[in-house]
Amino acid sequence: MSKQGFCAQSLLEWYDHNRRDLPWRAKKDEKPNPYYVLLSEIMLQQTQVVTVIPYFYRFIEHFPTINILADADRDTVMSLWTGLGYYSRARNLHRCAQEIMRKNGEVPDTVKELKALSGVGNYTAAAIASIAFNVPVVPIDGNVERLTARLFTIDAELPKAKKYLDEKAGHLNDDLIAKQRAGDFSQALFDVGATVCKPKNPSCLSCPLSKQCLGYKKGIAETLPRKVVKSSRPVRYGIAFFIQDREGRILFRKRPAKGLLGGTLELPGTQWDLKPISLDNAKESVGVKGLFEDKGCIKHVFTHFVLKLRLYKRIEKIDLSFRDRDELWYSFDDIQFLPFSSLMKKLVQLGFD
C-alpha cells in the first residue's frame, strides 16, 4: 500500500460491476436526489438496509418531496415510522425538513451546513455531502471502521481505537480518482463492507481489496477490529393495562416527546424497573381500578436492556360517561394511522387474543 493509504481504483472498478440497486441510490449517469439521500441516511442510522427499504418506499409515497414532509402532521410522520425504532430519528427528520424549508428549501451541500440540521451528525453529514453532492469526504461508519482495521491490521480494541481508526479511514480517499468520484467511492465502501468485508465469514477471496489488505495477508482479517466483550443486557420489568370502553375502543396515553419511544402512544402502565411489581401496586401507581385478567408477558429487546412487560386486561368495559376528557381512546383500526411502536402493537394484539 502507498503512503496515501490504498489504491481506490480496484474498489471503484468492483463497484461499477457489483453496486447494490437501492431505491434511494441514483442509477448510473443519473444525478442523486438529495432528499432521497437525506431520508435514507437518517433511516439507516443503526438500522440495516433490508429493514429500511419498505419504510423508505412508504415515506416517499406519502411525502414525495421535502416540502410535503415539512408540512405533514408529526403524528402522521411518527405513525409511518412505527416499527423502525429509534423514534427520535422520526422527530428529528420532521424538524430537519422544516429547518430546510425555513431556509431556501434545498438540502445543504456542505458538511458544516448539514451538521447544523436536527438529527444529522458527523457521519450522516459526510454521507449526504459525498453521495448527494460529490463532496470528497469519507463517511465513517462501522463498515468503514472494520474495513480500515483489516486493511492496516489495527488490532487495538474498540472503542479505544476508534479515534485512530477514524483518522486512518479519513485518508482512504487520498487517491485523486476517489475524490473525483466521491459519491461512488463512499457507496463502494458501504457495499464492500456490507456484502464482502462482513463482520463474520468475510469473503476475502472475492474482495477487491484483498491484494492490499494486511489482515488478509496475515490471516487475521476476521478477528479485526477487536472489541471489548460487552456484558449481557439487564432485564427490566413492568405492567401495562388493556382497558376498553363499551364501544371497544382502547385507552392510551402519549409518551413524553423526549426519551425512549418518545412521542408514541402506549397503553397505561408502570415504569420499567429492575424488579417486578405486583398487580396491586401497579394499579395504585397507574390509578386504575376494577378486575383484571392476566393476558401474559411480552419480551422486547432494546439496545441497552431487555423488557419483560406483563399485560392485564380489564374484565368489564368502562362506560363512556365516566371517561376523562384528557384520555385517548382509539379503535384497533385507528392504530395504523397513529404513532404506535411495534412493542405496543404486540401488546394490543395480545389484549385481543
pLDDT value at residue 61: 97
pLDDT value at residue 319: 72
Residues of the chain with pLDDT under 50: 1-4, 322, 325
Give the Cα-Cα-Cα angle 44, 49, 53 (nearest 5 degrees).
95
> Using the 8-state DSSP alphabet, how is residue 214 labeled?
H
Whole-number Å distance between alpha carbons of 346 and 242: 12
pLDDT value at residue 256: 87
The amino acid that residue 138 corresponds to is V
Question: Among candidates 126, 125, 142, which has minimal Cα distance to 186?
Answer: 126
Q: Kindly list the catalytic residues.
A: 41
pLDDT value at residue 326: 57
pLDDT value at residue 267: 94
Whole-number Å distance between alpha carbons of 35 and 132: 9
Strand partners, 241: 312
Whole-number Å distance between alpha carbons of 275 and 304: 16
Identify whether the C-beta of residue 237 lies closer than 8 Å to the C-beta of residue 272: yes
pLDDT value at residue 169: 95
As given in the structure block, the three cell numbers for residue 126 are 459526510
Whole-number Å distance between alpha carbons of 156 and 158: 7
**Three-state secondary structure readout of 164-177:** HHHHHHCCCCCCHH
Q: Which residues of 320-341 are buried (b: 16+ CB within 10 A; e: fewer)?
A: eeeeeeeebbbeeebbeebbbb
pLDDT value at residue 348: 92
pLDDT value at residue 14: 97
pLDDT value at residue 228: 81
